[in-house]
Structure 1
Amino acid sequence: MLKDEVNKALEIVQAGGMILYPTDTIWGIGCDATNTDAVKKIYQLKQREESKSMIILLDTDNKLQSYITEVPDIAYDLIEFAENPLTLVMPGARNISPALIAADGSVGIRVSSHPFCQQLIQRLRKPLVSTSANISGHASPQYFSKIDQEIINGVDYVVDIDQHSTEAKKPSTIMRLNPNGTFEFIRR
């Protein structure tokens, strides 16, 4: 089942499509983080300003250097010891769609612990965009049955995993991490 869903989602994402999928936090809308056309489709679906950047997911922290120019050593410790899912916003974003890079050159990255995300990203060999499955300005859905029908109808594929779970999930903690290792919380 997991393998089948990864295969179906991979096909859609490689073709430039958008998926609705479960993550280690809330349900996300995703696409290939290197495909600008696909990224722009997510902004349109969410009715979100392009100046509000979205995060990317990786399957392992050893890929951070591929997408951030200078990864502070503390980033690895923060990821390893975080008790809750942690998104790190770091400057020096590279090798992803310019539509995902904030005006200051930063991008938010989370290493996902969800088996579906890990397998899809590993097979895709690229980061996956992750943004909450809601219209901009609406509440983030805590589980699948709370996702707006407009979002479900707007994506190219809805992953058939965890749809019946009613475990309330929260968005990740977000920290801004500077090259010198200093950091600040954006969302706890």
Structure 2
Amino acid sequence: MNTEVHEAFEVIKNGGIILYPTDTVWGIGCDATNEEAIKKIFALKQREESKSMIVLVNGERMMHQVFNEIPEVAWQILDFSEKPTTLILDKPKNVAKNIIAEDNTLAVRMVTEPFCYKLMERMKKPLVSTSANISGMPTPQSFKEISPEILKGVDYVVNLHHDKICKNPSTIIKLGLDSQVKIIRK
């Protein structure tokens, strides 16, 4: 795994995009502070830049790097979640502008999956995560379902967990600074 973390880190450090396993589905990712790398992902996915993507963090410290204010209910939700949970929070900071939604929110998921965790530990930055498909197409449930267009379009394919099957993307919950909670996806 350390070799894969090193290889992925080198690609990301140089502005590249990677295809990698997450705690849910296979993702396309890059440095969440690199606007040009994020543009590459939008182009590869043929996705409108007005649609935001998820950012992964590897702990509370990195979460606080990305948001000034985190509602207390966010920590409660994360503590009690039985499956990976993505939170949409207000007023992100220290990330590329083109990853922030038009309403000044950002989707974030804290991961403990070893590859993602170690990669972000090395990067010292959050990692973009978006499903490994062309926009509008079904989300691949395994590595073998990823289209050749995506495989050829990334700068590096992580050579781990190619046999993993995942049928469940994360739960998505939007939290306002006013403590309003809205479930987007169960």
- TM-score normalised per structure 2: 0.97
- 2:17 is aligned to 18
3-state DSSP class of the match of 1:79? helix
Q: Partner letter of residue 29 of structure 1? A: I
- 1:44 is aligned to 43
Q: CA offset at residue 63 of structure 1?
A: 2.1
Q: Partner letter of residue 126 of structure 1? A: K
Measured against aligned partners, the alpha-carbon deviations of 1:55-111 in whole angstroms (never above 9, x if no partner) come to: 100011332221112111111121122101000001111100000001110000001
Looking at structure 1, the residues matched to 172 and 163 of structure 2 have their Cα atoms a distance apart, in angstroms, of 27
- 2:111 is aligned to 112
RMSD: 0.9
- 1:175 is aligned to 173
- 1:185 is aligned to 183
- 1:102 is aligned to 101
Q: CA offset at residue 171 of structure 1?
A: 1.1
Question: Is 115-124 or 69-78 further displaced after alignment?
Answer: 69-78
- 1:30 is aligned to 29
- 1:4 is aligned to 3
Looking at structure 1, the residues matched to 102 and 4 of structure 2 have their Cα atoms a distance apart, in angstroms, of 35
Looking at structure 2, the residues matched to 159 and 16 of structure 1 have their Cα atoms a distance apart, in angstroms, of 16
Contact 2:53–2:99 (Cα < 8 Å) also in 1: yes
Looking at structure 2, the residues matched to 146 and 110 of structure 1 have their Cα atoms a distance apart, in angstroms, of 24
Looking at structure 1, the residues matched to 62 and 72 of structure 2 have their Cα atoms a distance apart, in angstroms, of 14
Looking at structure 2, the residues matched to 84 and 181 of structure 1 have their Cα atoms a distance apart, in angstroms, of 22
Contact 1:61–1:76 (Cα < 8 Å) also in 2: no
Looking at structure 2, the residues matched to 82 and 63 of structure 1 have their Cα atoms a distance apart, in angstroms, of 19
What's the % identity of the aligned pairs? 47
Measured against aligned partners, the alpha-carbon deviations of 1:14-52 in whole angstroms (never above 9, x if no partner) come to: 000000000000000000000000000000000000001
3-state DSSP class of the match of 1:169? coil
Structure 1 regions of 5+ residues with no counterpart? none
Question: Is 85-94 or 65-74 further displaced after alignment?
Answer: 65-74
- 2:157 is aligned to 158
Q: CA offset at residue 169 of structure 1?
A: 3.2
Q: Partner letter of residue 172 of structure 1? A: S
Q: Partner letter of residue 181 of structure 1? A: S
- 1:83 is aligned to 82
Looking at structure 1, the residues matched to 22 and 167 of structure 2 have their Cα atoms a distance apart, in angstroms, of 9
Structure 2 regions of 5+ residues with no counterpart? none
3-state DSSP class of the match of 2:122? helix
Question: Is 13-22 or 53-62 further displaced after alignment?
Answer: 53-62
Contact 2:91–2:105 (Cα < 8 Å) also in 1: yes
